[in-house]
Each structure stands twice: as structure tokens, then as C-alpha cells.
A and B are shown apart, each in its own frame.
Chain A
Amino acid sequence: MRPFVYERPTSVSVAIAMASHVDARHVAPTQANTQFIAGGTNLADHMKLGVAQPVRLLDLNTLAEPALRQIRVTDDTIRFGALVRMGEAADNNDVKHRCPLLADSLKFAASGQLRNMASLAGNVLQRTRCEYFRETSWACNKREPGSGCAAMEGFNRQHAVLGTSDACIATYHGDFAQALIALDAVVEVEGRHGPRKIPFARLHRLPGDTPDIETDLAADEVIVAIDVPLEAWSRRSRYLKIRDRESYAFALASAAVALDMDGDTVRQARIALGGVATVPWRARAAEAALQGKVMEEDVAEKAADAAFADAKPREHNAFKVPLGKRTLVRALFETRDMKV
């Protein structure tokens, strides 16, 4: 690991000023010399691997603002402070009750220890677990722009089938982000030019030709809160995660589903898919296919077909297309059958 300077900003504005101080305004946050650390579960791992090489770390845990550590639930919104730990959010009774999808997506992620460490903002910003990205001796356009992609023709069982490009097929492995994108969450960010709000769907960027640029954030911007609107579908919501083992594994496929039902008829559906795409993946075509329909086997299957219509499987991950579809169908029925 490269040696680094460690500093403890005392407030959000100080943190931003310290990050802005360096000439890192034109590089992605993941490439900047100065980087923020909160839980450290992703960044410390990447620093040990040589994937991340910051020379200065700003510890966000020393920020004084209490709101950063609070969950506030009102009638129409759940507001998560950015430094709230995953475990705390997963165990929050209001969250569990008002929107099970949020709590489940956290509960089924990582392990108890990691959830106690990882902040919510850090969690949504987690980088891919692609093996070729993690090991610096492989070609990887995300880690080293222009070097190529070893995964494309390599062992790509865990890789994405949606949102891929000719430069990158790395999966976004987060779970909580699937809940957030399905539920139209909004990310509140503070930066050099003041605060701004980013719809969650616009936080992450498709890999395209620049898989090294993963989010819409600048290197001197800090997420301070995540707002999740509570709507008619929030209570009837569920996260289904399919993996090789029963726990502590990344999704081979997952589905975040929220349904507003009128009897057996779907008024509105909110759907996101995990484990299969390069970024948090909202399945709007599937939502549209369900709207106004009675939820039956063929309707659910058509929605699933729509969700994967553009899938581009590769040698070892073709199974993710049928698996992703069946995961969605199962999640739709399980969500429909929830007692709320």
C-alpha cells in the first residue's frame, strides 16, 4: 500500500475545503490523490490491493454534524444521514415497517461486521468486485483506462449482462442501491459550489467508453443524506437475492420490487435488478409491462422478458438471463403475496 496522510476534518464544509485544496478537480473521485473514507470496508480493501492509491485520506467519521448519523422518518420520506451504518439502518424498526425493501436489501448484504462498519453513502459508492479489477496484473479499463478488459473473454461468470459496453462488463454488486433506485431516492450532496440533489438513478454512470468514471460526483463532493420518498408501494416491497450460498455472497441475481396493488391488479410497480448489471439497474420496461395488469404467471414472465430484452450474455454468465428473469418473477409473486 502506498503511504498516505491521514486527516480528520471537523465538519462537512471543512472536509470539502480540504478536498478542494488539492488539484484533483478534474479526476474521478476514485483516482484523486485526496479521498474520503468512512467505513473503509471498500477503500481499505482496494488500497491493500493497490487498486486505490490515495496519498491523503480525509476521515468523515470525525465530522460533527449530527444529522449525518441520523435516520429521520416522516410521513412521506425516510431520510438517511450519510454516515448511518448499514446495520443500524437494517435494524431500524421504522425502516423495516415502512419499507421492508430497504431493510432487506441491507440485511442481505455483506456480514454483520461489515454492516456495522460500512456507511450508507459508502455502500452505494462501492466499486465492482470484478476479479480482474481487483488484481492489478490484469488488464482493466476501469482501473487503468485504455489497458483493455481481461474479463470480456476471460472467466466472466459473475459479470453483467445489462448495461455493458465494449470497455467493461463489471457488475455493480451493491444491494441497497437497487432498493434506492427502485424507490426514486434522491442523494443530497455538498460540494465546493454548495449543495445539490441528484436523483439516485443519475448517481451512477454506465461504463460506456469511460468505465473509470463511475459516478456523477466530483472528488470534492460529499454525500450528506439519502432521501427515500414513501409512496403507495413502499410497504409492499421486497428484496430477493439469489446467490451460490445461503448468506455472505454477492448476488448472482437479485430483484428489488415494490408494488402498489388494487386487488390483484398492479397500479404501479417499481423494480430494480441486482447482480446482473454494471450499475444499479432500474427495470422500467418491466414496470410498464405490469402497470394496470392482473399479476399472473404470463404477465410476470412478460415483464421479466422485457427487463432482459437487451441482455448481452457472455461465455460464463449466460445463466444470468434466465436466472434474472425467474428471480424477478419469484420476487413479484412474493411481493404480491405480502401481508401489509
Chain B
Amino acid sequence: MNQAAPVPKENQGEPVVRIDGRLKVTGQANYPADIATANVAYGALATSSIARGKVSKLHTDDARAVPGVLDIITYGDMDKTDKPKFGNTGASSIAPLHDRTIFHDGQIIAMVVAETFEAAEEAAMLIRADYEDDPPSASFDSKGAKVEPAAGKSPMLKEDVKVGDFDTAYASAAVKIDQKYSTPTQHHNPIELFSTTAIWQGDQLTIQEPSQNVTGWKIELARQLKIDPANVRIVSPYVGGAFGSKGPMTARTAIVAIAARRVGRPVRCVVSRMQAFNTQTYRAETRHRIRIGAGKDGRITAFGHEGWEVTSRPDSYVVGGTSATGRMYNYGSVLTHISLVHADRNTPGYMRSPPETPYVYALENAMDEMAVALRMDPVEFRRVNEPEKEPIGGKPFSSRSLVKCYDQAAQAFGWSKRDAAVGSMRDGDWLVGMGCATAIYPTASAPCAARVRLTADGQVRVQCGSHEIGTGVRTVAGQMAAERLGIGMDKVSVEMGDSALPPAPVSGGSISTASVCSAVLKACDAVRGKLFAAAVAGDGPLAGSGNAKLEMEQEKIVASGGKSAKLSDVFKAMQIGAIEEYAEFAPNGSTPEALKKLYAGQAEFHGGDQDEDSVKYAFGAEFVEVRVNSYTREIRVPRIVGAFAAGRIMNTRTARSQLMGGMIWGIGQALHEATEIDRRNARYVNRDLQDYLVPVNADVKQVDVILVPEIDLDVNPAGVKGLGELGNVGTAAAVASAVYHATGKRIRDLPIRIDDLIA
């Protein structure tokens, strides 16, 4: 049996193989730095070695003397451009070459352009800077770090989430906990390196760069360069992993564009793994205080969640996960507050389930503690607190299958065989622990355009400026068209990753499948409309079937009465060779400007907690078995089971892979991943894949994904909830709970390491 291709259940699509699978296994899929570019020169960055201060003098003579060096872009050279903006499209407002202020370690101080990669690297290492340095603030508790309320600092968090009288409820609760949790700085570390290639042809600029937002970047880059967006094209046909890191554009893109204009030839800058830690975004470290009060029956009466998040000096990046944690269960009262801590760091950004990963980790670890305090089974504790409506605004959930997820995952996992007593389960020298946690992710969608062409010989081409970052969106968009137009997948091609295509929103927030498929669906329906009209027309091949229900299958139009007409015959009757339709999708509740904003690279998100009628979330339940060696205390995860309900599943193969990958990410979050900071000087220490650990093959044994059928017609026309980010929410809490079950030690600060268990 091929586990990669789960048999579809109700409302689930076929496990069609990836449309780009062959290209990817033969090395023919072109990631941006792979695209053959004639006469290309190579860029290499030089970066600061202090986190705060000013560059008083830059020594570039040695670098310029390296044979093959063409140019060095540094202070003054970007003056005719506008500074980057922090926001949905821009990673940071820090404009590294616009002035000499250093805001963080590893800030760009120059870029060398040379004939060869080797010469560029050699020269970049020869650039020296003199600094006027000030003592930096590294993080929480650092002298000089500025703490302020997060609410109002970001459109993501207009006000802190609250309801009812928390203080009174908590004070009078029969059982309560009050604990602190933390999550570390983490970097996405997609295996593809970050890169920019800039090519000018006259006043036309083409940027080849891995991107999750080609339309947004086109607009933003044109703004920075003060040129017409019509002259800018962003090309990103394949993206070698993103996880949020390639969503916001960084300052480098404009620098490489300027360099290419200066040297009069294409310039490619592939950023080193180390430099990426500082010049891209990352997951902010967070701290949490959680208070839960409940009656002896386990019903929660008070939920308090305070969060603290590190961000840069100039930018207020808000992680902000209380919207989800505050709506998770049937709390009697909710009080939350989020604070930002401004430190001398690069600006963080979104990383796979940005708010939920840290905030739900804290909540779910606390839920397990609370279950222990109540002497309740942790699954039962969650069942008791299952809400009818979300507690903050009293709105219904568009659908919520959490209990079903728990039931199915618990059964598959064998939860009933767990002995609840701490330290009671053993296998030889290994302590066995079992834990569980809830996964939640808001379901959103955004305006999206797509173009679909069907030719008389049954070839379908789908065009959409979305991004194949590994999610399978190229495949499912093709599947949607193939199904709707009755064409085999082998005759479908899908073009994505190019700002010259119909615009799509940023591929983030798990919105792509819903948004793209809704637009493709609409375009296909327009094609069908034209074909159907021609087929049933007086001279059409299905003349007289005007009242019949028409479908398209196997390159035919089939009427409900049984009559059918070959596609080619319909085209012949129409005397045309192709039908091409351009469609725009906008979610329910979109503002009148929604589509205009799509073309401006500012697609509005709808769904989650934003809609009037209901709140929209996908849910899951994850169960983890850990083993802790009784001597040496290393922690291993031999088994993990997750059950997830996410509306219509377009393709059980790609869906399972995404969720599986997410759960393994969760194992990494729990046990491996942390960017370490030297607090004396606010510098990252482990800036590579030798010391920034992510799970390897041997860390992963059995991973079971259960796709729980769910139908939700409210979320969007495609009925799809996203699941790219759902899988790694909650996992770390399930691991922490399992470690507690095995050892009796409650670890609240991630990652959980031998260090915590050995003493």
C-alpha cells in the first residue's frame, strides 16, 4: 500500500501525483537561481559585526583591488531610491544602505559585484568597517529594551482579546494554574538559499527571486526604485521551501537591482546560509503567562493569556496569537494582553503558523497541566470545554470538528492503553510518555485572479500568479480545472510564480488553495458557460438539450438525458480553436476596493475571526509518543498521530504530505530548533545548519495523518480550509506533555533538551 496516497473519503479529492513531480526528480524544475542568465555578474554581501551603532568608516580598497571586482554598492549608492517600508510586503523599514545606522547584527553594509562568485566572495570578506558602537539590547530583560503594548501597533491586533470578568472568575476558581512558558527565536531555513537576480533590458527590470508574493513585490520594488510597476517583473517559478521567509521582500532586492543597472549586466546575489539569519526574517521569541481557572467538574471559568514578543527597534512586528487561544475553548471569561519588546535585532516576520505555533504551544501545555491539576484525562478535559460558539464575540464556528479529530486520533494512537500515572510506562531502559494537544488555524481566503484556456484538442492551461512553494498548489489548481472541464491531468498545464500572470495574494496564511481554486473554478465555469451555450444552441451538437443539466467529462459535454457531444465538435460548431477566460474571485464580505487592492499587491484576507456571520477555523488533534532514555535522557519521538479536519481536501496526497511535514516541524520546534543569541552583543551564534538543528530522517519514525471528512460551504466557493500551517500547531505541546508523562518534569521553555532532564 502506498501511504502517500490516502484513499479519499467524503469531500476529498483524488491523490493525483504532483503535476511538477517529474521536473522535480529530474533536476529540471528551475528555482530562481537556476535560471540560465547570460553574462551574469555575481553579488556578495558584506554585513555588520555589531548590532547597534554607526558605521564611521568603510574600508573597501582591498576589496576593490581583487581582480574581477566590478563595483561595490554601499552608502550613498541607494540615495535615489525610496526606503523599504515595513508591512505586509516589506520585511523591515531598515534601509541598510540609506544611512549608516546599524540596527542589528549582520546588517548589510555593502554588496560587491564581481565577474565570478569566487572573486565576489573574496572581496566581500575583505571589506572592513570602523564602528561607533553602542551597547545593544539583545532580548527580553536586556537593559535598554523598550516594552510597549502591542494592541494598535499592527492591523493584526487592533485590541487585546477579552470577555467577561476574568479577575473575579479566576480568584474564585476551585482549581487553577498560573505558569510561564517561552519559545525561542527560530529561523525558517528553507533548504533553498535566498537569492536575487536582477536583469535590465532597457527600462524593463526582471527579478528572479524565490517569492511567496510576486505581485506585492512588483509594486513594492517599483515604489522603492521609483519606476512604473509595469516595467517590473518578478519571476519565481519554483520556490525551494518558504515557510513565510519568502513572503516579505527584503532590502537586498532593490540593492541588486541598482547594482545591475550600474554594471550594465545581470547581477545574481545568492545569500550565504549564515547571512540569511540576519538579512531575512525569523520567528520572534515569545514569553507567555497563562492562568486558567476551572471548577472541579473541569469547566474553565477563567482564561488569562499574556504574551511578550521581541521585535526590532523600528518595526512593530506583532505575533499576536491570542485571537486563536482566546477562542479555542468554552472559557467563562478571557483576559489577554500582548506586549512588544523592542530590541536591537532584525525585524521578525511570519514563520509557519506564526501566531499559533507559540501561543497555542503555551495554551496547550497549560491545558495539560490543568488536566493534571484536575486529575482529568487531557482529552476529556478538552471535550468538557468544547464550545457551542466562540467565547469572545459569541459567533458560531462555520464548522468545528475538533471532537471528531480527537476521537479518531485517540483510537488510531491507542490512547486508551496509556497509563496516566507519571513515569509508569517503560520499555527496557526507555521511559515512555504519551501526550496530546489541539491544533487550530484560522481559515482565510483572499481575492485572486486566474486565466484558464481550453483548446479544441482538449489542452488546458491555467495561469495564476500564485506560488508553488511545495504545497502542491500547482497540482490542485490543475486538478480543479481538470475536474471542472472534464479533461485528464496529463493535458493540463499550470503556470505560476510570475508577476506577469493574473495576480494572486501572498502565499501565506494557508489561503492559497482556497483562493486560487476559487478563482480557477470561476474561470472554468465561464469556459463551461460558453461551451454549454454553444452546445445547446440551435445549430449546436446538443441542440434541444437546453433544459438538461450539463456536465463535462472525458472531453465531452454530457447532458443529463444521456446525450453527449465531443469537445472538438462543440469547438467546430463555434468555429474557434480556444476559449480563454479571465476570472476574479473575491471572498464574501470583501470591500468594494478588494479587487483593486489585489492588483496593487495588497490582497485583503477574509475569514478567521474577521467575518460577521461566523468564525472560521480548521482543527486537528495530535498524539505523540516520546521515549526518554533513563540514563542519558535523550528524547526521541517514535510515533505521532494527527487527525485533521479542513473542509474539502483537494488532493489527499498533497494534503497528507503537508500535514505530515507540519507535524515533523512540530517535533523540531519541540526538541531541536533555536537560534541562540549571544546576549552581550545581540548577535546570533549558531547561524548555520550545523548548529541550528532541524529534524533529520533518523528523527522521524512513524507519522500517521488522518484526514477527517468535513464539509463547510461557508468558508469559500471551493469549500477549502487551508492546512499548510495547521500540522505544526500544538505538536510541541503534545511533546511537552508526553515528556512530562514519561519523566514527571514539566518543561515550559522550548526547545526541550537533555539539559532540562539530566540534572
Q: In the complex, are there CB atoms of A and B closer than 8 Å?
A: yes
Q: Which positions in A face B, CB cutoff 8 Å?
A: 1-3, 48, 50, 129, 131-132, 134-137, 150, 153-155, 157-158, 242-250, 252-253, 319, 322-323, 326-327, 329-330
Interface-lining segment among B78-86, B243-251, B570-578, B678-686: B678-686
**Nearest B residue to A322, CB-CB:** B758
Rounded to whole angstroms, the CA-CA distance of A244 and B688 in the bound complex is: 16
Residues of A within 8 Å of B758, CB to CB, are: 319, 322-323, 326
Ranked 7 nearest A-B pairs via Cβ = A247-B698, A137-B49, A246-B698, A330-B631, A319-B755, A155-B685, A326-B631
- Residues 410-451 of chain B, each 1 if its beta carbon lies under 8 Å from chain A, else 0: 000000000000000000010000000000000000000000
Shortest CB distance B301–A (Å): 40
Chain B residues with CB below 8 A from A246, complex form: 636, 696, 698-699
Could you tell me which residues of chain B, from 716 to 754, have a CB within 8 Å of some CB in chain A?
753-754
Q: Using Cβ atoms and an 8 Å threshold, which residues of chain A touch B672?
A: 244-245
Additional A-B contact list (16), CB under 8 Å, known A157-B676, A242-B632, A319-B754: A50-B125, A131-B687, A135-B274, A135-B687, A150-B678, A154-B680, A155-B677, A157-B755, A158-B691, A244-B753, A247-B697, A248-B698, A249-B693, A250-B690, A329-B631, A330-B629
CB neighbours (8 Å) of A137 from chain B are 49
Expressed in whole angstroms, the Cα–Cα distance for A248 and B121 within the complex equals: 28
- Verify if B221 is at the interface (C-beta below 8 Å from A): no
Residue-wise, chain B 46-78 has the 8 Å CB interface mask toward A (1 for contact) of: 000100000000000000000000000000000
A154–B699 alpha-carbon span in the complex (Å):
29
- Bitwise, B561-587 to A at CB < 8 A (1) or not (0) is 000000000000000000000000000
Cβ of B87 < 8 Å from any Cβ of A? no
Q: Bound complex: CA of A50 vs CA of B677, how far in Å?
A: 22
B650 interface contact, C-beta 8 A:
no
Asked if A1 meets B274 with Cβ closer than 8 Å, knowing A155-B685, A245-B695, A247-B696, the reply is no
Q: Which residues of B contact A3 (CB under 8 A)?
A: 118, 122
**Nearest A residue to B274, CB-CB:** A135
- Tell me the complex Cα distance, A262–B759, Å: 34
A132 to B680, CA, bound (A): 14
Q: Find residues 167-196 in chain B having any chain A CB closer than 8 Å to their own CB.
A: none
Q: How large is the interface on B (under 10, 10 to 19, 20 to 34, 35 or more residues)?
A: 35 or more
User: A327, B632: Cβ atoms under 8 Å?
Assistant: yes
Asked, given contacts A157-B676, A322-B758, whether A244 binds B671 with beta carbons under 8 Å apart, the answer is: yes
CB distance from B504 to the nearest CB of A (A): 37
The answer for the CA separation of A205 and B696 in the assembled complex, in Å, is: 34
Q: Is the CB of A245 within 8 A of B685?
A: no
Residues of B within 8 A of A323 (CB): 632-633, 754, 758
- The distance from the CB of A245 to the nearest CB of chain B, in whole angstroms, is 5
Chain A residue, CB-CB nearest to B635:
A244
- A-B contacts, 11 of them at CB < 8 A, read A1-B121, A136-B125, A154-B680, A155-B676, A155-B678, A245-B672, A247-B697, A250-B690, A326-B632, A326-B758, A327-B631
Cα distance A322–B429 in the bound complex, in angstroms: 17
Q: Quick check: is B555 within 8 A (CB to CB) of the other chain? A: no
Give the residues in chain B near A135, CB-CB below 8 Å.
274, 687
Establish whether residues B699 and A247, one from each chain, have CB atoms under 8 Å apart when the complex forms: yes
Chain B residues whose C-beta falls within 8 Å of the C-beta of A242 in the assembled complex: 632, 634, 754
Do A245 and B698 touch across chains, with their CB atoms under 8 A apart?
yes
Which of B631, B632, B699 has the most A CB atoms < 10 Å from its CB?
A: B632
Q: Given A244-B753, A245-B696, are A129 and B118 also a contact pair (CB < 8 Å)?
A: no
* Closest Cβ neighbor of B688 among chain A residues: A134
- A131 lies within 8 A of B696 (CB): no
Q: Given A248-B696, A319-B754, do A131 and B636 touch, yes or no (CB 8 Å)? A: no
Q: A245-B698, A323-B758 are in contact. Are A153 and B680 (CB under 8 A)?
A: yes
List chain B residues, Cβ under 8 A from A132.
Answer: 685
Given A246-B636, A327-B632, are A252 and B754 also a contact pair (CB < 8 Å)?
Answer: yes
A33 to B629, CA, bound (A): 47
How far, in angstroms, from A322 to B755 measured CA to CA in the complex? 9
Residues from chain B with a CB closer than 8 A to the CB of A245 are 671-672, 693, 695-696, 698-699
Residues of chain B within 8 A of A1, CB atoms compared: 118, 121-122, 125
Cα distance A19–B690 when bound, in Å?
A: 32
- CA gap between A329 and B693 in the complex, in Å: 27
A1 to B114, CA, bound (A): 14
Closest residue to A156 on the B side, CB-wise?
A: B685
Q: Complex formed: what's the CA distance from A330 to B629 in Å?
A: 10
B701 to chain A, nearest CB (A): 9
Query: With a CB–CB cut-off of 8 A, which chain A residues contact B697?
Result: 247
Residue among A253, A319, A327 with the highest chain B CB neighbour number at 10 A: A319
- CB <8 Å contact, A131 and B686: yes
Chain A residues near B687 (CB-CB < 8 A):
131, 135
Chain B's closest residue to A50 (CB) is: B125
Chain B nearest CB, measured from A144 CB (Å):
14
Name the A residues within 8 Å of B698 (CB-CB).
245-248
Look across to chain A and name the residue whose beta carbon is closest to the beta carbon of B272. Answer: A48
- Minimum CB–CB distance from B285 to chain A (whole Å) comes to 14
Specify which chain A residues have a CB less than 8 angstroms from the CB of B121 in the assembled complex: 1, 48
**Assembly CA distance A204 to B680 (angstroms):** 32
B754 contacts A154, C-beta separation under 8 Å: no
Q: Which residues of B contact A158 (CB under 8 A)?
A: 691
Q: Is the CB of A322 within 8 A of B685?
A: no
In chain B, positions 383-409 with a C-beta closer than 8 Å to chain A are none
Nearest chain B CB to A304 CB, angstrom units: 11
Contact with A along B486-510 (1 / 0, CB 8 A): 0000000000000000000000000
Q: Which of B629-684 contact A (CB under 8 A)?
A: 629, 631-634, 636, 671-672, 676-678, 680
What is the bound-complex CA distance between A97 and B199, given in angstroms? Answer: 60
Complex Cα distance, B678 from A134, in Å, reads 15
Contacts of B680 in A (CB 8 A): 153-154
The one of A247, A249, A322 in contact with B759, judged by C-beta atoms closer than 8 angstroms, is A322
B66 smallest CB distance to A (angstroms) = 9
Contacts of B631 in A (CB 8 A): 326-327, 329-330
Closest chain-A Cβ to B735's Cβ sits at a distance in Å of: 14
A253 nearest CB neighbor, chain B only = B632
Q: How far is the CB of A90 from the nearest CB of chain B, in Å? A: 16
CA distance A243 to B696 in the complex (A): 12
With contacts A327-B632, A329-B631, A330-B632 taken as known, whether A244 is within 8 angstroms of B754 at the C-beta atoms is: yes
Min CB–CB distance A107 → chain B (angstroms) = 12
Give the docked Cα–Cα distance between A132 and B684 (Å): 11
Distance between B142 CB and nearest chain A CB, rounded to angstroms: 15
Measured between beta carbons, the chain A residues less than 8 angstroms from B696 are 245-249
Query: For the complex, what is the distance from the CA of A50 to the CA of B49, rounded to whole Å?
Result: 15
Residue of A nearest to B121 (CB): A1
Most buried by B among A150, A243, A244: A244
From residue B18, how far is it (CB to closest CB) to chain A in Å?
Answer: 26
B754 cross-chain contacts in A, Cβ below 8 A? 242, 244, 252, 319, 323
> What's the minimum C-beta distance from B49 to chain A, rounded to whole angstroms?
4
Shortest CB distance B196–A (Å): 21
